[in-house]
Amino acid sequence: MRMLHLGLRVTDLDRSLVFYSALGYAEVGSVPETDFGSLTMLQLPDDPFVSLELVHDPARPVVDTSAVNHLVMQVDDLDAVVADLAAKGVTAEPPADLGSGLRTSWLTDPDGYRIELVQWPPGHPAGMTRADFV
């Protein structure tokens, strides 16, 4: 078993697509009519699979994002990503060094979901593993 993707309800699909496109996501497909609303599948350029689904129903705007604490995205060069986002009109908090080369920055999507950008120290494997907690 493996996790496939996360579905986030969004209030304004076009506004959310602009935001997530600035983060590097590309739309790879959609399902226009479901019981949940329209589904728009997004994929990052270096990922082989869809990792984010935007769920939109104009009759059901986002009113509470507290059930989702935050999303996390891995980046290779945090300073470059923060600068690129700023050039696209997306504001991220200044990068913070958490020690041992681990760096993070935070931003918020149009509906209020918090996103953490993580730059691993050199030599760290992609993603988080059990070794990060021993």
The predicted-structure confidence for 10-34, as pLDDT tens digits, reads as follows 999 999 999 999 999 999 999 998 9
Residue 37, both tokens: 């609303």
Q: Name the CATH superfamily for 66-125.
A: 2,3-Dihydroxybiphenyl 1,2-Dioxygenase, domain 1 (3.10.180.10)
What are phi and psi for residue 97, nearest 5 degrees? -90, 120
Going residue by residue through the chain, which has 134 residues, state the pLDDT in tens, using 9 for 90 and above.
Answer: 888 999 999 999 999 999 999 999 999 999 998 999 999 999 999 899 999 999 999 999 999 999 999 999 999 999 999 999 999 999 999 999 998 899 999 999 999 999 999 999 999 988 888 888 87
pLDDT at 77: 96
CATH code of the domain occupying 1-58? 3.10.180.10
Beta strands in the chain (DSSP E): 6-10, 26-31, 38-43, 52-56, 71-74, 96-97, 103-108, 114-119
Which of 113, 119, 42 is closest to 77 using CA atoms?
119
Residue intervals of the chain classified under CATH 3.10.180.10 are 1-58, 66-125
Any idea of the CA torsion for 63, 107, 4, 9, to the nearest 10 degrees?
20
